[in-house]
Chains A and B, each alone.
Chain A
Amino acid sequence: MFCILALFFLSLIYIYMPKITYNTHDNKTYTIEVQNGLTVMEGAVQNDIPGIDADCGGGMACATCHVYVKEDWFNKLPKKEDGEEDMLDMAFEPKPNSRLSCQIIVSNDLDGLEVNIPSKQT
């Protein structure tokens, strides 16, 4: 019985996927379950959410996966690595809450994260 219960809870943990909400510029909202370990950019691209181009494929080399992170989430995210701020200089209309979505790795801690997609990437 214990084993079955344990398995049940384990599987719950295993299938549990954090939900990420993407708001597009034209006021459409997509809430998607994204597997732990994927990036917020990959979550969008794999689910065909419009507005995130990710030209370089996640290499922090192009600034076309730029998003605005909802204010209350911004400080909860792991800090930017060197280079991300430099790339953000090139992004379309960057703001203080701008991030490159390829640099945000999804984990259970990010369940409920909400990002706004800019009107364009270039």
Chain B
Amino acid sequence: MNKTDALIIGAGPTGLFTAHQLKLIGLNCEIVDNLNKIGGQCIELYPDKPIYDIPAVPECTGEELTNNLLNQLKPFDIKFHLNERVEQVKKENDNWLVKTSGGNSFQTPNVIIAGGVGSFEPRKFSPKECEKFENKSLFYSVKNKSVFKGKTVSIFGGGDSALDWAIELSKDSNVNLIHRRDEFRGVQATVDKMYELKKAGKINLFTKYQIKNVHGDKKLESIDIIHENSEIQSLKTDYVLGFFGLIMQLGPIANWGLNLNKKTIEVDTEKFESNQKGIYVVGDICNYPGKLKLILSGFHEGALAARACFKLARPNEKYRFEFTTTSTNLLKRLGKKE
């Protein structure tokens, strides 16, 4: 059981800056994120796209913003729990008991949800029959590539993941690569390499095709793919891989007794607290009159939520507002003064 003053759900820009604000005012915090890396939507959706509306930063990419925020956290010791999704949040006396998919549990008076639009999950195939084979012979990520050796693998998608795996697996497997159009959005060198392998007969390429159905009793036997012009082909296959990127799902957050408005959570604008005492919501996932889904709004919301956490984490102390320019306390925490 980890005890902490505040637990942040989500390691996107808002979560990171909220951690900064908590540490600055002298509270501990830990951060959980479902992704295997820090940065949230910034790193997953637009690492290379420039952002132009961060105050005092004329231009930076999602990745640069994440790195800058991490640099800003350097003076502090913050524990990250990546690749873990928060499954359960339960009230226990004055604390919240939080459990993650990675088996971690936390006891904390304050939970700050900075979850963007929920957690990222792989986008799945649309035919219902696919579920039957999921994680047996149909996967959305590769954990152990050795199982594909000597087998037929049908890979769907047109981005780098699909291309990279098609190239990699073509060494020891019979690979079908299926994509809904002629163009691939992968790195040019990777696309060229794939076409080379296709020419050499190492990859069977099917463009303008999508999955129609999967067949098999206990074991996956074949799939049907359908062309843009409705022509259907049947392919014998042992495994199917789908790489359609990630989608954001609200996930278990929906079950924590919070006031939801579509996929967002309603908060007040003083503490950014939800209808549950000690659960705050900041960034894209919170909702209040006039809410803007901007990174800068998330920073403001996090700063206020952090101050609200102080009251529950240090009930016998009084929070005093201070500036980093002048406060010895703050400068000490930042490592700028002995």
The chain A residues found within 8 Å of chain B, CB to CB, are 53, 55-57, 61-62, 64, 85-86, 89-90, 92-96, 122
Partner of B244, one of A53, A57, A90: A90
Further contacts, 7 of them, CB under 8 A, given A61-B46, A89-B158, A90-B244: A53-B263, A55-B247, A55-B248, A56-B45, A57-B284, A85-B181, A89-B179
Q: Once the chains are docked, how many angstroms separate the CA of A74 from the CA of B157?
A: 24
21 A–B contacts from the bound complex (CB under 8 Å): A53-B263, A55-B248, A56-B41, A56-B117, A57-B284, A61-B41, A61-B45, A61-B46, A62-B248, A64-B247, A89-B157, A89-B158, A89-B181, A89-B185, A90-B123, A90-B244, A90-B245, A90-B247, A94-B180, A94-B210, A96-B228
Residue on A nearest B116 in the bound complex, by CB: A55
Nearest 3 pairs between A and B by C-beta?
Answer: A86-B185, A90-B245, A122-B247
Inter-chain contact A85/B247, CB cutoff 8 Å: no
Size category of the B interface is 20 to 34
Q: A-B contact count, CB below 8 Å?
A: 47
Within 8 Å CB of B126, what residues of A? Answer: 92-93
Partner of A122, one of B181, B228, B249: B249
Inter-chain contact A93/B157, CB cutoff 8 Å: no
User: What is the minimal beta-carbon distance from B188 to any residue of chain A, in angstroms?
Assistant: 14
Within 8 Å CB of B284, what residues of A? Answer: 57
Within 8 Å CB of B26, what residues of A? Answer: none
Q: Which of B123, B247, B248 has the most CB of A within 10 A?
A: B247
Within 8 Å CB of A90, what residues of B? Answer: 123, 244-245, 247
Q: Once the chains are docked, how many angstroms separate the CA of A62 from the CA of B45?
A: 8
Q: Once the chains are docked, how many angstroms separate the CA of A56 from the CA of B180?
A: 23
Within 8 A of A (CB), among B121-144: 123, 126
Q: Once the chains are docked, how many angstroms separate the CA of A86 from the CA of B179?
A: 12
Partner of B293, one of A57, A85, A89: A57
Within 8 Å CB of B157, what residues of A? Answer: 89
Within 8 A of A (CB), among B176-224: 179-181, 183, 185, 210
Indicate with 1 or 0, residue by residue over B128-169, a CB within 8 angstroms of chain A CB atoms.
000000000000000000000000000001110000000000
User: What is the minimal beta-carbon distance from A48 to any residue of chain B, in angstroms?
Assistant: 9
Q: Once the chains are docked, how many angstroms separate the CA of A85 from the CA of B185?
A: 9
Within 8 Å CB of B249, what residues of A? Answer: 122
Within 8 Å CB of B185, what residues of A? Answer: 85-86, 89
Inter-chain contact B117/A55, CB cutoff 8 Å: yes
Q: Once the chains are docked, how many angstroms separate the CA of A64 from the CA of B248?
A: 10
Within 8 Å CB of A92, what residues of B? Answer: 123, 126
Inter-chain contact A89/B46, CB cutoff 8 Å: no
Residue on B nearest A118 in the bound complex, by CB: B126
Q: Once the chains are docked, how many angstroms separate the CA of A93 from the CA of B247?
A: 14
